Structure 1
Amino acid sequence: MNIELAMNLPLTDIEFVQREVTLNEILRGTMMDFQSIHIGVKNKKTGTIYPCIFTSFIKEIYENDISSNINTLAKVAGNVVAFLNFIIDRIQEHDELFVGIKAVKDIKAVHAAKFICYKTAQGLQRRTVRGYGGTLLSFFQWLKDKGYSDEEVVIRWVERARTVDRKKEFYKTPLAPFKQYGANYPTKKTLKPTKEKLKDFGDEDDDERRKMTEYLINLSRDIAPEIALGLCLQFYGGLRKGEVVNLTKAEFNIEYRRSMEVMIRDNRALLFSRLIDTKKENPKRLSYLNTDLARQTIFDTNLVWDVYDEHFRNLDRLRGEGRLAVTTAVFIDNNGNPMSAKVYEKRFMKVKKAFIRSLRGHKNYDLFNGHVWNTHIGRGVFTNFLVSMNFLPAQIAIARGDRNLNSALDYIDKAFTKKQIREAVNELKSVKTGKFGYIDIADVKQFVETKWGDTK
């Protein structure tokens, strides 16, 4: 079904949606599964989702780009879906600018400009709104190239400079897409007040960072013990929630009470076949590291081992009672199914609320209550543990399992000079892939025993 056919249905009955699908493709003689994002038209009365021509936009422009992962595809598709549903809403509201839209060819740049104004009025960040603008600019260009529209969007280019390998180079970038059609982008006046994102638990105080981390994990042992081990892996190993929920027992490479390492795998087909959409369960690291080389060393403190023992004792009990839907799963929900990322997040929020509530009157209450933070805070805390180990920028990126410094810069730019960061960027180019996520066990042992007094 395309948009023309969709418009023949009552507008109250349809909406555009995005969904993740698993596709099969033969690569080098082997049948492989891979995830993709499709755009569809949903009949809200029947729940039926029909294919839509706009999926080709995602596939042709973004899916074949080696730098695009499933999250990038989902974001782009979400931007297009939001725009199309905005058009439907405006038609239903009898907006005179939109009521004449009957087919794809009727969608014009001025409609995109109105959509951008709408997003700006919602108080969104400039970067977010520019993301919508950039996607729609590519979308209109694709429509024109495919012959679906004769709308030629006028682009105003601006020349900017950047430094690469100590050399200044110039490049052109579109200046605020659709601005010449009336689009307004966010300013300080339009931005809604937002809480600052919390990136660390200790504010450069390693002892406080450790105590707060231990307190949160111990609280989880009481309130949501089913995710306590996951928090250990996030705060003491920097795993993302998608990497955590994908774990099976086979991914734990341990020398009991001496060292712990986990392999990062994409087990979605095994664990989450019941889910329609598994974007949140996506193990992001596998988008830039080979499966056989994606691993992560864990700071195996006594607390980590205690939680590990408790978690697997409970798993053994549930397995013995026949309550596990997938016997190899490590994280389980109340129904015995492998725990989804959504459920993991809910459990975390339950722990977070209790954590903040218990800190009333504590010196750190405002820090935790006045900032935005979620499960990803574990990766930030882990990064700052690495900083306190006196790791250099390149060592930090390697220990986090990062191929570049971009994602770690938020945490390390204050701790290191520009020269050190520049040197690290060059150093990372020559690091063998198998080194990412690895930390020398001797370094871990010295750190937790000497600085934390945590002896086994």
Structure 2
Amino acid sequence: MRGGSFIRDNNVLQIPLHNQIKFITKAVTSKIENDKKYALIAVKNQTTNVSIIHPISDFIIRNWKHSLFNTQKRQANNTVKFLNFLYSQNSTYTVNSLEDLTIEHGTEFLNFLTYKERKPKDTVRGFEKTLLNLYSFLYEKEIITTNVNERINIYAKDKDFPSPFKSAHFLNKKKKDTLHFIPEKYIFLFLELAYQLQPIIALGVYMQFFGGLRSGELVNLRVMDIKPIGPYGQNGLVADLQTRYLRNDLKSTCGNDFVKKPRIQLIYGYQDLLKTFYKQHMQNITVIKGDEPLFQNKKQQALTGSMYRYYFNNLKQQFLEYLRHSKNATDNLNALSLENALWSTHIGRGIFSNLLAEEAENIYDISFPRGDSNLESVLPYFSNTQRIKEKLEKRLDQLLTSH
């Protein structure tokens, strides 16, 4: 018997062929590995909402078991999209099992991404690399007879080497540029709109602008994980950043709710601004013991990263709408420019880095790696950042007076 019989006996398309079945990426937590999360591939019945892990998940585990969850999720998402493409086009391609896969199927999928979905070249190349690994995995399992191993090795070293999908086409159109910061004169306007229109994340926006926190870091904070400096944090906040998985009730396929670099991070206070944001936020959330999530939904549950981005993108649209209707011609032009660029929650980190550009190498210059230190013990060390704080305040003062 050829190897890989377990996968063969659970053929990719050996399921009822109707529109209610689809492949999904599913996050699974391993209790024996300290709640480590894995991105696996499952088959879901959309009528019953029941999903089961599919054996092709072994492809993800074999190749990316020790990679970050986000890396696993990206590869699983790419694979899922390919499998769903084959499933939806089954009447055309007649792919009834993994054994039926050919290079032509991969080529058709890549061209579908290019011409039907108008995916940029770099995105399609990413799918192509996933397919190369998938076909290699299936060949090693003796599921298919096409050997792409040698081509993968060469392809990894030489970007100009044609992949097995030689008839795949790619768009030359450039993607939108990713924006890393907005014009400085709009920093306070954006914060003001956050305070007025999106109070659920207003403090988070401030912490991103003046502490460089990622959205995934914000949604992993509990109330006890931040230490105010001065009344209501008037002089700053110190945040203990680490992945805590505050929403274990969700079997989410999202993998952005984690802390990339565990550390203790300073968020700068400016005049009474942080005090105002912090006070409003604490009045709006439920706090009993201190172990509650810092950013809560209406049910007092922790916001997920996707929900934080949802509120942020709403705020972004409100900000752009404000600029579009401004009587200032420069604001109108900037609205067009900002609309035509890619940006979301990462903009806060870019703004903070830009503000600190002349005073610190990077955000981590005003943070401390996590170890045995707690919030109280590291406070004295932040006195060394007073020079940076004074320079930052001076620059912000100039922004206020010049605009």
With normalisation by structure 2, the TM-score equals 0.83
Q: 1:224 to 1:14 in 2, by over 3 A?
A: same
1:62 Cα deviation (Å)? 0.9
**Aligned partner of 2:308 among 344, 348, 363:** 344
Partner of 1:70: 69
Residues 384-425 of structure 1: per-residue CA shift (max 9 Å, x gap): 1121x343xxx226348799xxxxxxxxxxxxxxxxxxxxxx
Partner of 1:300: 269
Task: Provide the C-alpha distance between the structure 1 equivalents of 2:129 and 2:136, rounded to a whole number of angstroms.
Answer: 11
Return 5+ residue gaps in structure 2 as ranges.
1-5, 370-377, 399-403
Task: Provide the C-alpha distance between the structure 1 equivalents of 2:353 and 2:254, rounded to a whole number of angstroms.
Answer: 24
1:103 Cα deviation (Å)? 1.5
Partner of 1:175: 161
Contact (CA 8 Å) 1:383, 1:396: kept in 2 or not? Answer: yes
1:299 Cα deviation (Å)? 2.1
1:173 Cα deviation (Å)? 5.0
Q: 1:73 to 1:262 in 2, by over 3 A?
A: same
Q: 1:319 to 1:390 in 2, by over 3 A?
A: closer
Task: Provide the C-alpha distance between the structure 2 equivalents of 1:373 and 1:102, rounded to a whole number of angstroms.
Answer: 41
Q: 1:176 to 1:295 in 2, by over 3 A?
A: farther
Partner of 1:369: 339
Partner of 2:355: 385
Residues 76-108 of structure 1: per-residue CA shift (max 9 Å, x gap): 0011111111111111xx32xx11x22111111
Contact (CA 8 Å) 1:157, 1:172: kept in 2 or not? Answer: no
**Aligned partner of 1:152 among 147, 150, 165:** 147
**Superposition pairs for residues 53-202 of structure 1, below 5 Å?**
53-64=55-66, 68-91=67-90, 94-95=91-92, 98-99=93-94, 101-121=95-115, 122-153=117-148, 156=151, 171-172=157-158, 175-180=161-166, 182-188=167-173, 195-202=176-183
Q: 1:338 to 1:445 in 2, by over 3 A?
A: same
Partner of 2:375: none
Return 5+ residue gaps in structure 1 as ranges.
27-31, 161-169, 203-208, 404-433
1:12 Cα deviation (Å)? 2.6
SS at match of 2:35: strand
Q: 1:157 to 1:333 in 2, by over 3 A?
A: closer
SS at match of 1:179: coil
Count of residues in Structure 1 that have an aligned counterpart in Structure 2: 370
Structure of higher RCO (CA pairs closer than 8 Å, 6+ residues apart): 2
Contact (CA 8 Å) 1:134, 1:177: kept in 2 or not? Answer: no
Task: Provide the C-alpha distance between the structure 1 equivalents of 2:256 and 2:179, rounded to a whole number of angstroms.
Answer: 23
Task: Provide the C-alpha distance between the structure 2 equivalents of 1:398 and 1:158, rounded to a whole number of angstroms.
Answer: 36
Contact (CA 8 Å) 1:200, 1:380: kept in 2 or not? Answer: yes
- 1:265 maps to a residue whose letter is Q
Task: Provide the C-alpha distance between the structure 2 equivalents of 1:8 and 1:351, rounded to a whole number of angstroms.
Answer: 43
SS at match of 2:362: helix
Task: Provide the C-alpha distance between the structure 2 equivalents of 1:368 and 1:152, rounded to a whole number of angstroms.
Answer: 47
Q: 1:312 to 1:187 in 2, by over 3 A?
A: same
Contact (CA 8 Å) 1:264, 1:283: kept in 2 or not? Answer: no
- 1:375 maps to a residue whose letter is T
1:109 Cα deviation (Å)? 1.5
Partner of 1:29: none
C-alpha RMSD of matched pairs (Å): 3.0
Q: 1:439 to 1:234 in 2, by over 3 A?
A: farther
Partner of 1:431: none
Residues 1-56 of structure 1: per-residue CA shift (max 9 Å, x gap): 95527424124342111111111225xxxxx1111111011123322212211111
